[in-house]
Amino acid sequence: MKMKVQLQILCGFLVLGILSGCSKNPVTGKKEIIFMSEDKEKALGAESHPSVVASMGLYDDKNLNAFINEKGKAMGKISHRPELTYQFFIVDSPVVNAFAVPGGYVYFTRGIMAHFNNEAEFAGVLGHEIGHVTARHSASQQTKQVFSQGVLLAGSVLSPTFRGLADQASQGLGLLLLKYSRDHESQSDELGVEYSSKIGYDAHEMADFFGTLKKISEKSGQSIPTFQSTHPDPGNRQVKVEKLATTYQAAHQAKYEVNRDAYLRRIEGLIYGIDPKQGFVEDGQFFHPGLKFQFPVPSGWQSENTPAQFQMASKDGKAMMLFTLAEGKSLDEAAQTVIKNYGLQVSENNKITINGNPAIALVSKQAAEGQAAAANAAQVASWLIQYNGNIYAIHGVAGSTDFGANFNQFKGVAQGFKALTDASKLNREPDRIHIKTVQNSGSLRDALKSYNMPDNKMDDLAILNGMDLSAKVDKGMLIKTLGK
Is 90 exceeded by the pLDDT of residue 75?
yes
- pLDDT tens sequence across 223-280: 433 333 445 566 688 999 999 999 999 999 999 999 999 999 999 999 999 999 999 9
> What domains are there in the chain, each with its CATH number?
2-266 (no CATH), 283-426 (3.40.1000.10), 440-483 (no CATH)
Q: How far apart are the first and last CA of the chain?
A: 68
Residues 210 and 238: beta-carbon distance below 8 Å: yes
Helical H runs in 60-118? 62-78, 110-115
Is 50 exceeded by the pLDDT of residue 436?
yes
- The distance from CA 261 to its chain's CA centroid, rounded to whole angstroms, is 28
Average pLDDT over residues 180-188: 78
- pLDDT tens sequence across 359-393: 999 999 986 655 444 556 789 999 999 999 999 99
Residues 90 and 109: beta-carbon distance below 8 Å: yes
| 174 to 22, 47, 126, 155, 475: CA distances (angstroms) | 25, 11, 22, 7, 49
- The distance from CA 472 to its chain's CA centroid, rounded to whole angstroms, is 34
Cα–Cα distance, 211 to 234 (Å, whole number) = 7
**Phi-psi map region of 145: left, alpha, beta (phi>0 left; psi -120 to 50 alpha):** alpha
| Burial (Cβ within 10 Å: 0-12, 13-18, ≥19) of residue 29 | exposed
- pLDDT tens sequence across 195-206: 999 999 999 999
Average pLDDT over residues 282-307: 94
Contacting residues for 319 by C-beta, under 8 A, at least 6 apart: 313, 396, 397, 398, 402, 406, 409, 410
Contacting residues for 84 by C-beta, under 8 A, at least 6 apart: 42, 76, 103, 104, 133
Q: Which of 415, 425, 476, 473 is nearest to 445 (CA)?
A: 473
Contacting residues for 151 by C-beta, under 8 A, at least 6 apart: 145
Average pLDDT over residues 40-63: 87
Average model confidence (pLDDT) across the chain: 83
Number of neighbours of residue 70 by Cβ within 10 angstroms: 11
